[in-house]
Amino acid sequence: MTPRNESGDVIRVEHISKRFGPLKALTDVNLSVRRGEILGLIGDNGAGKSTLIKILTGFHQPDTGQLFFEGEPVQLRSVSHARSLGIETVFQDLAMINELPVYLNLHLNKELVHTPVPFLKRREMKRRAREALDSIGINIPSVTAEVAQLSGGQRQAIAVARSVYSNAKLLLLDEPLAAMGAKESGLILRLLQQLKQRGDISIILIAHNYSQIVDICDRVNLLQHGTITFDKPSKDTSVAELLELVHAEYRLNQD
Amino acid sequence: MAEALAGKHTRPQPGTPAGGPPSGRAVSFAANAVRIKELSILLVTIAAAIYFSLTNAGFNSAENYHTIAQYVAPWAIVAAGEVMLLICGEIDLSAGFVFTLSPFLLVAFYHAGAPLLLSLVAALVLSGVIGTINGLIRTVFGLPAFITTLGMAFLLQGLSLILSGGSPISAPTDGWVVTWFGQGPWTEFAWTVLIVAVTQVVLSATRFGIYTQASGGNPVAAAESGIRTNQVKVINFALTSTLAGLAGILQGTRVGSYDPTNGGFNAMFFAVAAAVIGGTALLGGSGTIIGAFLGALLLGIVYDGFNLTGINASAFPLVLGIAILIAMLLNVYLTVMRKRLSSPKGHS
């Protein structure tokens, strides 16, 4: 075993396997993300990406293998346990209450109230929401706008901002750019860049657009048939190489 | 309103930078006017009041105001609870029969020798228990609120008929409790105003209000953030039932008799109608108690106006139906409008 957290990994996964009945979803998966790093995770549908993400968020427990969070071995018992450690998944549409304004969404279940009469501190929450959004460069018309009035990209950005605002250490973004136009994707990619500059948040990004992956991620992992088969820094790989890897698998399956 | 109308013609500029507010004062005024959902229903209510006071000499009298207040009170009190329930994605069809039953519960305790105030409190507690049962059946067994409370409605109707023996009984007449809870002129309406004010504050100024909105707006996201949505719902079921119980006691005590044919589906649906006319979304997420109060006020004014004018009472359901349909259409339309007015790009 490697000495604990010598490399400053936020999360490290060692020899993880998971099967569902006869189906081997993951086999001996090793993966790690350093502090402030953005890891791109690519792979065909059914390669095991969702299972891996669900293990990282505490939704599934692995059959074998060990997870380390900030160097310490952990067993993620539940989603809320993972969240209490600072592991957050960002869902595009599941995360927001459309009928509530942005600032209340950012403070959902963490509302600030006066004492002794527990009325909402709306002004204070608006101010903090504005600051939080400014600090990561999110530009929306107003924090008092209902989320329903925002575009998909803005909503996604707010969802990310909420995780950051609640002191997330590891963000899991499952296809945040799916079903988004170029302009909207740009919004999210800029946001991710801002977060990278902060240096205190690590991100695992699942996406199908390899040029975006190569652009934004520090490192790329390829998951094939439940195993990580490729792990390279983005600067040492290219869109062409990634495409070739996936196509090779496709050809193999055809034969 | 003139500015607001004018503002509607000023289309938001497509070129507005994404970070800026919607362009132009008129537009933002219009946006605000539309955003305040209660404004449209308030204007309609005022218009109705003006119409009836112009067409009928008897409309503007203290006596008639009192009559309207008596129509409005039970609807508005029950509606205060129903709005909370509707916002968190539920409905209580049995509230009208809690309204029917609670006076008989009071009388049962009273006849058993309990002091009147204690009997009243006990009746309200039992009303709250009925709501809690509704909420638990809904959340623990996952039965839809519609079915759960429909069953409860008939159950309570039967219970009321059994407890009352099927005929009205006279309400207690003596003491300050009777005076304060309905007998004293305007006390029923004073309770209404108090309840509307308190529930509105709970809805818009407390964490519980936010939880209620979140539980109806996006239950999955609310639960994800750690909000106990089931608990929120059960509390709102209990609240609705308690308020319905109080409304029943207030009305019966004011009239001086408790009648097993009072309340029922009629009282409940009028309350839901008031909520919907007042801008509450039937699918959850948004609404206000004040809006529902104004909705009840509008219904009360129209009901009273029809009576005064001597229009056939049969026409009232017709008007009520039209009012609900228009309110719903307006609701949908205004939502679209709000979206347009506050969208930075004006069209997306």
ipTM score here? 0.79
Name the token pair of B153.
């409605």
* Residue A113 with chain B: CB contacts under 8 Å: 206-207
Interface test with A, best of B207, B232, B345 (most A CBs within 10 A): B207
The whole-angstrom separation of Cα A115 and Cα B207 is 13
The set of residues, in sequence order, having a beta carbon less than 8 Å from that of B151 and lying 6+ positions away, is none
DSSP A235: G
Question: Does residue B198 form part of some domain?
Answer: yes
Can you give the residue range of the structural domain that contains B87?
59-311
Instruction: Show residues of chain A in contact with B205, CB under 8 Å.
Output: 119-120
Q: Which of A95, A100, A145 sits opposite B224 (nearest CB)?
A: A95
CA angle, residues A73, A75, A79, in degrees to nearest 5:
130
Asked whether the beta carbons of B153 and B97 are under 8 A apart, the reply is yes
Instruction: List alpha helices for B206-314, DSSP H.
Output: 207-217, 219-224, 229-255, 264-277, 289-309
- Residue B218 has its nearest CB partner, among A97, A145, A146, at A97
Best to test chain A binding among B32, B35, B215, B218 (most A CBs inside 10 Å): B218
CB contact under 8 A, A141 and B225: no
The 10 Å Cβ neighbour count of residue B50 is: 11
pLDDT bin (cut points 50, 70, 90) of residue A175 is: confident
CATH code assigned at B121: 1.10.3470
Is the residue at B39 inside a domain? Answer: no
Task: Let me know how long chain A is.
Answer: 255
> Ramachandran region of residue A54, left (φ > 0), alpha (ψ -120 to 50) or beta?
alpha
The residues that bridge with A13 in the sheet, in sequence order, are: A31, A67
In a domain, B343, yes or no: no
B19 at interface of A, judged by CB pairs closer than 8 A: yes
A199: helix, strand or coil: coil
Domains of chain A are 1-86+169-255 (3.40.50.300), 96-168 (no CATH)
CA distances from B255 to A66, B182, B258, B259 (A): 73, 8, 8, 10
Residues near A64 by beta carbon (within 8 Å), at least 6 away in sequence = A15, A16, A17
**Tens-digit pLDDT profile for chain B (348 aa)?**
333 333 333 333 333 333 333 344 555 555 454 456 678 788 888 998 999 999 988 999 999 999 999 999 999 999 999 999 999 999 999 999 999 999 999 999 999 999 999 999 999 999 999 999 999 999 999 999 999 999 999 999 999 999 999 999 999 988 999 999 999 999 999 999 999 999 999 999 999 999 999 999 999 889 888 899 999 999 999 999 999 999 999 999 999 999 999 999 999 999 999 998 888 887 788 889 999 999 999 999 988 988 888 777 778 788 778 877 887 777 677 767 766 665 544 333
Task: Look at residue A88 and give its three-state secondary structure.
Answer: strand
**Interchain CB distance below 8 Å, B339 and A108:** no
- The burial of B174, by beta-carbon neighbours within 10 Å (0-12 exposed, 13-18 middle, 19 or more buried), is given as exposed
Within-domain flag for B340: no
Domain membership of residue B194 (yes or no) is yes
Q: Do B217 and A100 touch (CB under 8 A)?
A: yes
Would residue B126 count as lying in a domain? yes
Phi, psi of A85 (to 5 degrees): -80, -20
Q: Which of B213, B221, B344 sits opposite A141 (nearest CB)?
A: B344
Residues in chain B with CB shorter than 8 Å from the CB of A95 are 221, 224
A166 touches chain B (CB under 8 A): no
Q: Which DSSP string corresponds to B137-200?
A: HHHHS---HHHHHHHHHHHHHHHHHHHHTTS-EEPP--SHHHIIIIISTTHHHHHHHHHHHHHH
Spatial CB neighbours of A156, under 8 Å, sequence gap ≥ 6: A90, A92, A176, A180, A184, A187, A188
Helix, strand, coil percentages, rounded to 5, for chain B: 75, 0, 25
Domain count, chain B: 1
Cα separation values, B133 from B130, B140, B147, B233, Å: 5, 10, 13, 11
Enumerate the residues of chain A whose CB falls inside 8 A of the CB of residue B338: 146, 149
Residue B336: list chain A partners with CB under 8 A. none
Q: How far apart are CA B164 and CA B170, in angstroms?
A: 11
Structure-token pair, residue B234: 């059960």
Residues in a beta bridge with A120: A113
Task: Convert the pLDDT of each residue in B36-52 to its tens digit.
Answer: 667 878 888 899 899 99
Report if residue B197 sits inside a domain.
yes
User: Cβ contact (<8 Å) for B342 and A149?
Assistant: yes
Residues of B whose CB is below 8 A from A145: 342
- Give the predicted TM-score (pTM) of the model: 0.82
| Cβ contact B342–A141 (<8 Å) | yes
